[in-house]
Structure 1
Amino acid sequence: MTMLPLPAQKQLTTMLGHPVAENPIDRMFDAVFAHHGLNWQFWKCDIASEASLAAAIAGIRALGFAGACITVPYKVAAIPFLDEVDADVQAIGAANFMTIEAGRLIGHNNDGKGVVKAIEKVTPIAGKRVAMLGAGGAGRAMAVELAWAGASHMTLITRRQVQGEEVAATVTKASGVPAVWQPWVGEAKIPAGTQILMNATHLGCAPELESIPLDWGQITPDTTVVDVITNPRITPFLQTAQDKGLPIVDGVEMLVQLAMQIFSAWTGIAADEAVFQRAVAQALGESA
């Protein structure tokens, strides 16, 4: 009897976070892997609590994964379980992906780099005053990278004073750019003169599609409105901005920009943006 050769075991990659169900990253990466003929696969892993995080990261090492993404709420909590972190993680204090080299887990952060590329497709960052809603693991990376990209001032609007003040101090220490905390009580108040307004919270994510409690009264027509949410592409926050005629930057564009960098770090293959854009549009049901 002729024995058919069995295919090689797929090379696994993953994302650790909670929740992860609505994120299209797995379908995007799997489509890109297939496009390049790679026998790779991407798994989203919902890690329900921080108590399970150490075991999950140990599993990545033990099972020989090729790489992993880290998403909310574990971008800070994951760092002690890594073997090494790069200079960006040291400055920002959060990691959003890891490479694995000879069994060593190395943490990196390109959250902000993806955001900078996405925003600069719409408007320059240099010299702009930025206000950010939320300052979690993703928000702190974005705040630092926006400062490194030339933002002139940063306001962190959060409900937790300790978090907001700590991230503001991190931004100033890393970049020299003035950064301040502003309390978020009831409807968020946006400082006068804000030119880039970013939502770095989970408000607006599918399936809840929550509106952001925000006073739009002081937001001027030249303000660029940015959202980190990846599903849906146009959140209630961005829809309101569009209805007011404001320029917007969506979270899907940010995801594409950072995913391209992660793909190249994992595979050594130059990323083709058209392939990523097509894959994520299909994942979101935006194209056939």
Structure 2
Amino acid sequence: MATTQNFLPELVGSMSQGAAGNPTVAVMEAAFTHHGLHWRYVNMEVAPADLGNAVRGAKAMGFRGFNCSLPHKVTVIPHLDGLGESAGIMGAVNCVVRRDDRLIGENTDGKGFLKSLAPVVDPRGKSVVLFGAGGASRAIAVELGLAGIKKIIIVNRSPARGAELVTLLRDKLQLDAELAVWTGDYAVPADIDIVINGTSIGLYDGDARLAVDTHTLRPGVAVADVIFSPPLTRFLRDARARGCTVLDGLGMLVNQGIVAVQLWTGITPDADVMCHALENALGL
């Protein structure tokens, strides 16, 4: 194999869709091509038992960085040389950057969400409801905390997992955080400014229903969904019908890519080019 410094692999788990089915490949390749960068983004499946060897191999061959998807976001950490601020707080990595001879773990999930949220609402001083306590929700909650939100309610079916995230936010960010155990349709409190679905409910299923009492969604509230396919989930359609300002998951996915390219190359890629590539990859 070539030992070029311009070779970017993506390390993915055995449950990966594979290179042909991963829209991120098209998005990254479009950015590199548009900016005349001699870089490649290659999707690979790496079994959990082989993760350490894969990371050492990437370092030995001069890879400039790579992404990690589940199930590697936590288990990759012992194989790295350090962590960025938010990745260290949340204990999860989805983007690794080579800095000199060190591999540093970052997390672009929450950063991508914040960049997509910015044109809709400034989260500083706002009150938030976040559904889910998995990887995406964890990253979003940490970045919202770092951005200065007023308070956050984590709504989750598993009390233990939800409480773990709430404790992290309280202890590491001194954030006003509370847990609401998700049973039945959740009623959104009247003082909430931002509502976010951080779960996988609705992915590839436009009719899947999030268990929320949509009558408690006030007009003008910002309602966001991390789901990118379909972009307009049932949750967002219901929220729009209530007069809410809605934000789909396409922007989060594109902005994750933008942040990653910035970390790897030092340039800010063209967002329109990446968004167009994503829409083409998804057949939108």
| TM-score, with structure 1 as normaliser | 0.85
Contact 2:206 2:232 in 1 (8 A): no
Q: What residue number does 1:33 align with?
A: 32
Contact 1:73 1:137 in 2 (8 A): no
Q: What residue number does 1:80 align with?
A: 78
Alpha-carbon distance, 1:146 to partner: 0.9
Contact 1:74 1:137 in 2 (8 A): no
Give per-residue Cα distances to partners, 1:21-68, cap 9 Å, x unaligned: 365211111111111223322233455x64454444344335543221
Alpha-carbon distance, 1:17 to partner: 4.6
In 2: Cα distance, 1:16 partner to 1:200 partner:
21
1:83 is matched by which residue type in structure 2?
A: D
Contact 2:31 2:270 in 1 (8 A): no
Identity value in percent: 35
Task: Give secondary structure in 2 for the equivalent of 1:214.
Answer: coil
User: Kindly tell me: are residues 250 and 52 of structure 1, through their superposed partners in 2, closer, same or farther at Cα, counting changes over 3 Å?
Assistant: farther
Alpha-carbon distance, 1:248 to partner: 1.0
Alpha-carbon distance, 1:220 to partner: 1.5
Give per-residue Cα distances to partners, 1:128-179, cap 9 Å, x unaligned: 1101111122211210111222211111111222221121122223332200
How does 1:1-20 map onto structure 2 within 5 Å? 11-17=7-13, 19-20=15-16
Alpha-carbon distance, 1:197 to partner: 0.9
Contact 2:214 2:242 in 1 (8 A): no
**Equivalent position to 1:122, from 114, 120, 123:** 120
In 1: Cα distance, 2:117 partner to 2:5 partner:
39
How does 1:138-177 map onto structure 2 within 5 Å? 138-177=136-175
In 2: Cα distance, 1:209 partner to 1:69 partner:
31
Contact 2:29 2:41 in 1 (8 A): yes
In 1: Cα distance, 2:268 partner to 2:162 partner:
37
Contact 1:17 1:74 in 2 (8 A): yes
Alpha-carbon distance, 1:114 to partner: 1.8
Contact 2:86 2:143 in 1 (8 A): no
In 2: Cα distance, 1:157 partner to 1:58 partner:
38
User: Kindly tell me: are residues 158 and 44 of structure 1, through their superposed partners in 2, closer, same or farther at Cα, counting changes over 3 Å?
Assistant: farther
Contact 2:95 2:260 in 1 (8 A): yes
1:205 is matched by which residue type in structure 2?
A: L
**Aligned-pair RMSD on alpha carbons?**
2.6
User: Kindly tell me: are residues 247 and 208 of structure 1, through their superposed partners in 2, closer, same or farther at Cα, counting changes over 3 Å?
Assistant: closer
User: Kindly tell me: are residues 43 and 223 of structure 1, through their superposed partners in 2, closer, same or farther at Cα, counting changes over 3 Å?
Assistant: same
Q: What residue number does 2:275 align with?
A: 277
Q: What residue number does 1:211 align with?
A: 209
In 1: Cα distance, 2:14 partner to 2:210 partner:
21
In 2: Cα distance, 1:137 partner to 1:59 partner:
26
User: Kindly tell me: are residues 60 and 162 of structure 1, through their superposed partners in 2, closer, same or farther at Cα, counting changes over 3 Å?
Assistant: farther
Task: Give secondary structure in 2 for the equivalent of 1:90.
Answer: helix
User: Kindly tell me: are residues 88 and 132 of structure 1, through their superposed partners in 2, closer, same or farther at Cα, counting changes over 3 Å?
Assistant: same
**Equivalent position to 1:180, from 172, 178, 181:** 178
Aligned residues: 278
Q: What residue number does 2:41 align with?
A: 42
Alpha-carbon distance, 1:185 to partner: 2.1
| TM-score, with structure 2 as normaliser | 0.86
Moved over 6 A (4+): none
Task: State whether structure 2 residue 237 is matched by structure 1 residue 232.
Answer: no
In 1: Cα distance, 2:172 partner to 2:135 partner:
16
Alpha-carbon distance, 1:19 to partner: 4.6
Contact 1:16 1:70 in 2 (8 A): yes
